[in-house]
Chain A
Amino acid sequence: MTGIESGAAGFGQGGNALGRDNYLNHERGIKSWLLTRDHKRIGVMYLVVILSSFFLGGIFAELIRTKLLTPGNSALMKADTYNQMFTLHGAIMIFLFVIPGIPASLGNFVLPLMLGAKDVAFPRLNLASFYLWVGGALLALGSMVTGAVDTGWTFYTPYSTTTNTNVIMMVAGIFVLGFSSIFTGLNFVVTIHKLRPAGMTWFRMPLFLWGIYGTAIIQIMATPVLGITLLLLIAERALGIGIFDPALGGDPVLFQHFFWFYSHPAVYIMILPAMGVISELVSVFSRKHIFGYSFIAMSSIAIAVLSFLVWGHHMFVAGQSTLSSMIFSFLTFMVAIPSAVKVFNWLATMYKGSIWLATPMLYVLSFLFLFGIGGLTGLFLGALAVDVHLHDTYFVVAHFHYVMFGGTVIAFLGGLHYWWPKMFGRMYSEFWGRIGALLVFVGFNTTFFTQFVMGSHGAPRRSYHYQPQFEAYHRLSTIGAYILGVGFVVIAVYLIHSLLRGRPAPANPWGGATLEWQTSSPPPHDNFESTPAVGDPYDVEAWTWDGAVGGFVRRAPAGQPAGS
């Protein structure tokens, strides 16, 4: 695994660029941001709006958990308000935060840099995607004012076609968000196909790009089906088209098939980039070449393909035929395998490494722990007979959060901490970073592990009232949610602090071997001052700590002793 030409160019370009021309100060003024076609600025704008949505969704979550402290009526909110709260929590978190999360913010920023390219293939389309996101988000959130939707984020018919809340506006918003997602995916696929530099073959691409590529494929292929489903729902409500109305010969369960044909692959839209992030981080912070590159890369593609064939496992109790249930159950188990393979490969990467417990690595460990639970509890839900018992209970809520939060959000935080110095040219406080990671880990487990137990005892989800027997679990869960909230406040405070007062970051603070670390922090407007040298993206051992630079530099040519 050498394949690296001499290290002469080690720190020819790079270093900290805060005092020099960089993408942040290349142009000034609000207009230069709003009309930018620079993928880095678009990535940063996405980061801002996506984190704002996360904050809003989080507020709803804390309110829901606060209500659930007591089993009966609550002075905090009525049943209808509660129903609107969990719908908004779900819709905001899924459609505004997790789906665009990693690809649109981190992906936008990092993808061209990793390719050594100047931008994505279609910079204008990239900006259009951003504004589609904004427009869709405003529409969706506008429904809050005009009659907050109370259908749950899944919009099951016929409830969603008969409730008197503003479903059309919310659904239209998500339709627009879907196009934002499609165009981002399209952009990334073309970029990866056409803008790879000479020397970067498919199997020399960083695994984050494999993750993004798999995601983009799903975005392109699944989102249009969501689009048509939502259009049908709008037509049903606005025109009475009758396609989901049993009284008019329609079939309400068809909506579920359509919806999950998108929304199950969407789960992998959320998790694949997260796995890509973890693949980068685990290698860099073990100071060791990734183990089993091709298995990890291929498992991303396997997940992308299989994800389209498992939607029916959301309908094991909805009355589909036994034969389809059997097939979907089987395929569901098969889609678990690539994830398991990845986990083993990550562990093997750590084996005999030099494990550096910096904040991003804490998120990797956190990910392995939480995603392990999330993935393994999927086995319960894939097994037909057990799923019948667990379906639509808190067990599913817990499983989903372990995968989406324990997986995607944790990886997002890991990636954010990893690329933060590159994005803004400043380091955050390691001490507070570790405290934040720990609080999130403890808070998360307290919140959601209790829900597994509650769920297997039969507590139905989306319940305003619940049986007194579940009160203790709910209280514990709510305490966990508060710890989680404190954790996020800590993270927000030290990250904002770092923007203003953080230590200037070196070009390569972590010793990554992918191309984005070969330019300055933050990168210049055109990304690279000179064309970076393409090599093995996981040859992290070729980079060594240099106290004088305060970061990693490429090791001296072979033959000389290693180390500082």
Chain B
Amino acid sequence: MAAGATREGSVAGTHAHHVAHHFDNAEQQFESGKLGMWIFLATEILLFGGLFCAYAVYRSNHPEVFVYAHRFLDTTLGAVNTAVLICSSFTMALAVRAAQLGRRRQLLGLLGTTIALAACFLGIKGVEYEQKWKEGLLWGAHFHAKLAPSPPALPQTLPPVPAAAGEERSLIPPAAIGPAGLARPGRPTVAEGSEGPPHDVQVFFAVYFLMTGLHGIHVIVGMALLSWMMVRAGRGEFGPAYVTPVDLTGLYWHLVDLIWIFLFPLLYLIR
């Protein structure tokens, strides 16, 4: 978007033509593009910020669920994916440098590598999703996993489960219980200190799929942007005088990477 506006007249490939009529000079145009992109990234962070808030709220509402359920995630695959994304950020940074130096072949190769790493990330993510799908470890209404009394990869005992969100209940039992509607007030409550999986495990998977899903969409968008940059690099549009679009795509890609850096510990490494 910001990159799009600074593209005017770039086909001609000469310096002056990169500058749109309403800018005084190329520097003002570059600065504007950069500021625009940073602001856009801020909005992206706020978009994810909503989900991080949801994560915080549900983790504090259901701490036992998060501790219990995160063990179903494959930490190894998550760690590999983290490494893959960090590498892709590195190749992206090198690509920007190649563009600045005007090395077209190198730029194309590095952009290609970045796309390949992104595809690798999505592939591993797909494997993880498939496992969850098979085991029925899904969100909300679709959760249908048969949970063992104690979770599989759990050698030590569960940490003491905090009393289920100490909502004070009335002494009067609900008398008029309606039909099976949205709210089922008659849900069984967890007996204090009982063994077995906590209630509402699906909350964790709802949060997990929402956060990684939205991140995955961003990875796909990033791959599209990178491919577009490859096309334009192939046409030889970039050189020392004009690297703005590559630079801005790089910023976006680093953000996508950064968000994963937060998602990984929050979802996989709960203690």
Contact = CB atoms under 8 A, between A and B. Distances in A.
Interface of A: 112, 117-125, 128, 158, 162, 182-183, 186-187, 189-190, 193-195, 220-225, 227-229, 231-232, 235-236, 239-243, 245-251, 254, 258, 526
Interface string B200-215: 1011001101100010
A223 B43 contact: yes
A125 B35 contact: no
Nearest to B50: A228
Contact of B35 (A194, A242, A251): A194
Contacts of A182: 43
A228 B57 contact: no
11 contacts: A182-B43, A195-B28, A224-B50, A225-B47, A227-B47, A235-B210, A239-B139, A242-B141, A245-B182, A248-B206, A254-B54
A390 B53 CA distance: 30
Contacts of B202: 242, 248-249
Nearest to B61: A251
Contact of A251 (B8, B44, B51, B57): B57
B199 to A, nearest CB: 7
B168 to A, nearest CB: 13
Interface in B17-74: 20-23, 28, 31-32, 35-36, 39-40, 42-44, 46-51, 53-54, 57-58, 61-62, 65
Contacts of A227: 47, 50
Given A227-B47, A228-B214, A248-B200, 16 more contacts: A120-B22, A121-B32, A123-B22, A124-B5, A125-B4, A186-B43, A224-B49, A232-B50, A239-B140, A239-B142, A243-B54, A243-B203, A247-B187, A248-B203, A249-B61, A258-B54
A246 B183 contact: yes
Interface string B175-193: 0000000111001000000
B206 A122 contact: no
Contacts of B46: 221-222, 224-225
Contacts of A241: 139-140, 206, 209-210
Most A-side CB within 10 Å, residue of B43, B139, B209: B43
Contacts of A249: 58, 61-62, 65, 199-200, 202-203
A114 B37 CA distance: 24
A112 B21 CA distance: 13
A217 B270 CA distance: 35
B211 to A, nearest CB: 11
Interface residues of B, number: 50
Contact of A242 (B1, B22, B47, B139): B139
A125 B31 CA distance: 16
Nearest to B7: A124
Nearest to A182: B43
Contact of B42 (A118, A128, A220): A220
B139 A186 contact: no
A382 B194 CA distance: 46
A254 B140 contact: no
Interface of B: 1-2, 4-6, 8, 20-23, 28, 31-32, 35-36, 39-40, 42-44, 46-51, 53-54, 57-58, 61-62, 65, 139-142, 182-184, 187, 199-200, 202-203, 206-207, 209-210, 214
B140 A118 contact: no
B140 A128 contact: no
Contacts of A128: 1, 4
A190 B209 CA distance: 35
Contact of B139 (A158, A187, A240): A240
A119 B28 CA distance: 14
Nearest to B39: A186
A225 B1 contact: no
Contacts of B209: 241
A236 B207 CA distance: 12
A220 B35 contact: no
B31 A194 contact: yes
A247 B54 contact: no
Contact of A118 (B22, B31, B200, B206): B22
A162 B182 contact: yes
Given A124-B4, A220-B43, A224-B50, A117 B31 contact: no
Nearest to B142: A240
Given A125-B5, A224-B43, A248 B36 contact: no
Nearest to A112: B22
A221 B214 CA distance: 19
Nearest to A222: B46
B261 to A, nearest CB: 19
Nearest to B213: A235
B62 to A, nearest CB: 6
Given A183-B1, A224-B44, A249-B203, A121 B36 contact: yes
Nearest to B141: A240
B1 A189 contact: no
A69 to B, nearest CB: 35
A123 B20 CA distance: 10
A412 B186 CA distance: 53
Contacts of A122: 1-2, 4-6, 32, 36
Contacts of A248: 140-141, 200, 202-203, 206
A229 B2 CA distance: 25
B200 A190 contact: no
Contacts of A526: 21
Nearest to A246: B183
Closest 3 CB pairs of A and B: A242-B140, A249-B200, A240-B141
Contacts of B1: 122, 125, 128, 183
A158 B183 CA distance: 10
B139 to A, nearest CB: 5
A193 B28 CA distance: 10
Contacts of B183: 158, 246-247
B208 to A, nearest CB: 11
B182 A121 contact: no
A186 B3 CA distance: 13
A128 B1 CA distance: 9
B158 to A, nearest CB: 18
Contacts of B20: 123
Contacts of B141: 240, 242, 245, 248
A451 to B, nearest CB: 32
Given A123-B5, A248-B202, A190 B32 contact: yes
B39 A195 contact: no
Contacts of B182: 158, 162, 245-247
A426 to B, nearest CB: 27
A243 B210 CA distance: 10
Given A242-B139, A242-B141, A249-B199, A221 B42 contact: yes
Contact of B47 (A119, A121, A224, A239): A224
Contacts of B206: 241-243, 248, 250
Given A128-B1, A239-B140, A246-B182, A220 B39 contact: yes
A173 B221 CA distance: 21
Given A248-B200, A249-B203, A232 B5 contact: no
Contacts of A246: 182-183
A246 B42 CA distance: 32
Contacts of A190: 32, 35-36, 39
